Amino acid sequence: MADLAEVTRIMSEGGAWLPGKTVKFDFGDTGVILLDGVAGAVSNDDRAADAVIRITFDNFKKLAKGELSATTAFMLGKLKVSGDMGVAMQLQQVTSKLKLAG
């Protein structure tokens, strides 16, 4: 199963960011993944972002594998968004670039 470093690498190689925007996935104690569409980079830097998406790392992996939809996760309170909701709504563009196996 992929860990935070592996997912960060996969997202970086896949260009999983939104041009001109920053999105931070906050996994609590597991860490963060920052998608920096301004710099065209993915890192584990914990800094301010246009949108912050709070989700457990396990649920994020389910989202990335297509086992959990962003809408369902949001409605069930498994995914919380702060900041620019418009940026967060583009989440599908990001997760489609991330293909996690089993």
**Over the stretch 11-54, which tens digit does the pLDDT of each residue have?**
898 888 889 999 999 999 999 999 999 999 999 999 999 999 99
Residue 1 predicted with pLDDT over 60: no
> C-alpha 92: how far from its chain's center?
10
How many folded domains does the chain comprise? Answer: 1
Using an 8 Å Cβ cutoff, are 21 and 37 in contact?
yes
* Full residue range of the structural domain in which residue 41 is found: 4-88
User: Is residue 55 assigned to a domain?
Assistant: yes
User: Is residue 96 assigned to a domain?
Assistant: no
User: Is residue 99 assigned to a domain?
Assistant: no
Q: Provide CB contacts within 8 A for 79, sequence distance 6+.
A: 53, 54, 55, 59, 63, 70, 73
CA–CA distances in Å: residue 28 to residues 57, 71, 86: 8, 21, 23
**Over the stretch 44-87, which tens digit does the pLDDT of each residue have?**
999 999 999 999 999 999 988 889 988 899 999 999 999 998 88
> Is pTM beyond 0.85 here?
yes
